[in-house]
Amino acid sequence: MTEEQIREKVQSALSPKRFRHVEGVVQTADRLARLHGTDPDHARLAAWLHDYCREWPKEKLLQTAKQHSVNEMFFEVTELLHGHIAAAIAPEEFGIADEDVLNAVRFHTSGRPNMSLLEKVVFLADAIEPGRDYPAIAEIRKLAEEDLHMALALSFDNTIEYLIRRQQPIFPLTVVARNEIWRILKDGRVV
């Protein structure tokens, strides 16, 4: 499939508002990938796919997740399933099989420890695309250009604070990922 065909297929699956979000993520992921030295083509592909299943009803998400043997730990927070399912169906529906691209799609909502550079870029692009607006965004946007790990650390903290304020569940891997990024920053290590 060409990128244009992928774009059209994604557009047909989403509301205009969500599709504008996806276009923003594609544009931001492309820029961040170039800035931080990972493949912009892979970043754009993951960005096009990341919310492909975002508007599926809960029942369809749960059923498809079971069919594709998505790990049961992701069922506890339904908001996480759309990325895992998009990654599971991408080889068949889009002809995309690159594991790094698929992992960037899988973990774009929760993050996880040991994220690849591509996973970090897509995670952040989703958080800071031009259509997003929340109090910490200006700082995270600025840092995303200069210090990817610091931007990621603040983005994780921001997400976790947001979930706590709304009494929403926090996925354990997100906490592990957040602790890992802060450890990297404080130890001065880069993984």
State the nearest-atom distance from the C-beta of 80 to Fe ion, in Å. Answer: 9
* Rounded Cα distance, 23 and 58, in Å: 24
CA 141 centroid distance within chain: 16
Q: Which is nearer to Fe ion, 119 or 126 (CB)?
A: 126
23 interacts with Fe ion by CB under 5 A = no
Which stretch in 93-101, 123-131, 135-143, 177-185 sits in contact with Fe ion by CB under 5 A?
A: 123-131
51 interacts with Fe ion by CB under 5 A = yes
Is residue 103 within 8 Å of 87, Cβ to Cβ? yes
* Rounded Cα distance, 52 and 177, in Å: 24
126 interacts with Fe ion by CB under 5 A = yes
CA 97 centroid distance within chain: 17
Closest C-alpha among 131, 109, 126, 147 to residue 43: 126
* Rounded Cα distance, 32 and 13, in Å: 26
Which stretch in 41-49, 119-127, 157-165, 174-182 sits in contact with Fe ion by CB under 5 A?
A: 119-127
119 interacts with Fe ion by CB under 5 A = no
State the nearest-atom distance from the C-beta of 188 to Fe ion, in Å. Answer: 31
Q: Which is nearer to Fe ion, 51 or 180 (CB)?
A: 51
Using CB under 5 A, list all residues that contact Fe ion.
Answer: 51, 126
